[in-house]
Amino acid sequence: MGAGIAWKRRSGRASKPVTVMYCMGSGLGFVLGSVSAAQADNKALGQFLASECTTCHQLSGESTGGIPPITGWPKSQFIAVLRSYRAKERDNEVMQTIAGRLSDDEIAALAAFFEDLGKK
């Protein structure tokens, strides 16, 4: 695989800073690609998967208590954070459990959905 990319979490997003390393795998390749048909298809998937997030995270981007906002994040950051939960590097059990069954494609679909939402 290609060179690892280090992503530094922006401040104020989550409970503690984390640096995530991952490779230029197929998931990232897909996100950066411009496959419009696949992206349209991905929208329905992203919308369904996102419904799992919105039991806690508000679609409006508002935030209350210990649940951070997740709209409008750059896709790359969203992907890095979810992969980090999936790998159990970040330590919230709810997020580890939710992210644990997400494939790279599904994480990408979610990242696109919530990034778009932040633009509205």
Only segment of 1-9, 17-25, 65-73, 79-87 that touches other proteins (CB under 8 A):
65-73
Only segment of 1-9, 48-56, 74-82, 111-119 that touches other proteins (CB under 8 A):
48-56
Residues 1-40 touching other proteins, rule: CB under 8 A, are 15, 26, 29-30, 35, 37-38
- Please report whether residue 105 would count as binding other proteins according to CB under 8 A: yes
Three-class HEC string of the chain: CCCCEEEECCCCCCCCCCEEEECCCHHHHHHHCCCHHHHHHHHHHHHHHHHHHCCCCCCCCCCECCECCCCCCCHHHHHHHHHHHHCCCCCCHHHHHHHCCCCHHHHHHHHHHHHHHHHC
Footprint of other proteins on this chain (CB under 8 A)?
A: 15, 26, 29-30, 35, 37-38, 41-42, 44-45, 47-49, 51-52, 54-60, 62-67, 92-94, 96-98, 100-101, 105
